[in-house]
Amino acid sequence: MTIDRTFEDESAGGSSTPAENMSPILISNEVIDQAKLSRPHKATKRSIRLVNCTGDKLRKLTIPVGKRFQADIPKWNKALAYDYNLESSKWLGEKIWPIGSGNINTNIEMIGKGRPESSCSCDFPGSIECIKSHIHEERLRLLSEVGDAFYSWGCDKMGEAVSESWTLKEQNNFNKLFGTRTLSYEGFWRRAVKCLPMKQRESIVSFYFNVFVLRNVSRQARLPSPVIDSDDDNK
Ligand SMILES: [Zn+2]
């Protein structure tokens, strides 16, 4: 049995530049263009399916088949699945919420639709401050509804709230560091950890995704002709 898989054409060869090593989310168009100019023409990445079509190259990944390579999955038994006394039930985890036979009043109609326009009485509806205050209200409401589950689910480590454990100076340092980035993806995070000695790498990555990227997108979305580039900071 063989399957197709996507791969980068190795025949293109050549050493990669730091810009090529960076994550797409960390790289601006400007850096990409410079990287393109500074290296010879490189073959476009193509999936093996396309390569096979054109007959340029044939390369397949072999998946071994046989007793030694297959998982033994027992037949699904609906009746047993609901028996929580089973030894296997220990893998099902622990119920966190609702506690006991708590009632869940969820308005499924509202899920994914956002806040109705009419519900806002802010001075500047849709402004950054308006959105911030509504997110804050909803967080408090969620906390009061689900209690400790709020923390078990990691809701306290999501969104703008992540910045609460960062001083203004630390935030500015991160912004400056990102604005002058010329390093590879790995190099950038290594330097960030060095420049922010009070922060763990996990905390810095969390700040980047939960705060830095969202602030940029939020600001850019409000420009007269918005062009969303999550990295486009300090320009
Ligand atoms: Zn509002």
* 47 bridge partner residues: 6
Distance in Å, CA 127 to ligand 1 centroid = 7
- Per-residue pLDDT of 12-43, as tens digits, reads 344 444 444 444 444 333 333 444 444 444 44
Distance in Å, CA 14 to ligand 1 centroid = 53
- Per-residue pLDDT of 95-109, as tens digits, reads 788 877 766 777 778
Distance in Å, CA 172 to ligand 1 centroid = 27
Distance in Å, CA 121 to ligand 1 centroid = 6
Distance in Å, CA 138 to ligand 1 centroid = 12
- Per-residue pLDDT of 127-153, as tens digits, reads 889 988 999 999 999 999 899 999 999
| CB distance 163 to 172 below 8 Å | no
Distance in Å, CA 74 to ligand 1 centroid = 53
Distance in Å, CA 214 to ligand 1 centroid = 18
Distance in Å, CA 97 to ligand 1 centroid = 30
CA dihedral 207, 212, 213, 219 (to 10 degrees): 150
Higher pLDDT, 85 or 205: 205
Question: Residue 42 has what DSSP assignment?
Answer: -
| CB distance 196 to 208 below 8 Å | no
Instruction: Please report which confidence band the pLDDT of residue 201 belongs to, taking 50, 70 and 90 as the band edges.
Output: very high
Instruction: Please report which confidence band the pLDDT of residue 3 belongs to, taking 50, 70 and 90 as the band edges.
Output: very low
Least confident residue range of 69-73, 145-149, 155-159: 69-73
Q: Is the pLDDT of residue 164 over 80?
A: yes
